[in-house]
Amino acid sequence: MKAVTTTKKLWRKPLDADKAKQPQAEIYIIKDRCKGCGYCIAFCPKEVLEESEEINARGAHPPKVKDISKCAVCGYCMAICPDLAIFVKEKTDTKKEAEKDERKE
């Protein structure tokens, strides 16, 4: 499915670019809920997601993360998904939280 690009090209670097902290994202995909509409892939402002090769129980290609470092945790994918198949969380700093969130694939 062809993605519609929505990223803007900035003509100068933002003044607080060095201070701004890139949030660390965790994207959760409930693969078998996905029906393959493509909204999350098409409308992610940072083009973080792409269609995967695998086929889920519904016969659709769920999304997969292309580059997690680009994710700004804007939450649009989570808001736009008609099947509540994707959500995003911001990773917190404490080690305890990191251990709790760790999952084996």
Partner 1 sequence: MVVETTHPLDMYLRETGMHHIWCTGCGNGILLNSFVTALKELELDLDKIVIVSGIGCIGRIAGYINTDSFHTTHGRPIPFATGVKLSNPELKVVVISGDGDLFAIGGNHFIHAARRNVDIKVICVNNFNYGMTGGQQGPTTPLNISTTTTPYGNIEHPFNLVHLAAGSGAVYVARWTTLHVRRLTESIKKALQKDGFSFVEVISQCPEIFGKSTKMGLPVDFMNWFKRASEIQHFSDPAKAEITSDRIPLGEFVDIEKPTYEKLLRERIIQVQNKMQGGA
Interacting residue ranges for partner 1, rule: CB under 8 A: 1, 4, 26-31, 33, 35-39, 42-43, 60, 64-65, 68, 76, 79-85, 87, 101, 103, 105
Q: Cβ atoms within 10 A of the Cβ of 69, count?
A: 10
> Which of 51, 103, 47, 97 lies closest to 74, judged by CA?
47
Least Å distance, CB 12 to partner 1, is 26
Round to the nearest angstrom and report the end-to-end CA distance of the chain: 25
CB 9, min distance to partner 1, A: 18
Give the nearer residue to partner 1 in terms of CB position, either 5 or 13: 5
